Amino acid sequence: MSTTIQSELREATKQSTLTELRKEGVVPSVVYGFKTESIPIAVKERDLLNTLRETGRNGVMRLNVDGKDLNVVLSDYQSDALKGTIVHADFLAINMTEELEVNVPVHLTGNSIGEKEGGILQQPNREVTIKVKPSDIPETFDIDISDLQIGETITVADIREKSQYEIISEDDHALVLISAPRTDAEIEALEGDAEATAAEPEVIGEKQDEA
110, 114, 115, 154, 186 from 149: Cα distances, Å: 13, 4, 8, 10, 21
pLDDT tens, position by position, 116-157: 999 999 999 999 999 999 999 998 999 999 999 999 999 999
Q: Which pTM does this prediction carry? A: 0.73
141 and 157 in contact (C-beta within 8 Å)? no
Residues 64 and 88: their CA atoms lie apart, in Å, by 17
pLDDT tens, position by position, 155-199: 999 999 999 999 999 999 999 999 998 766 655 666 666 665 555
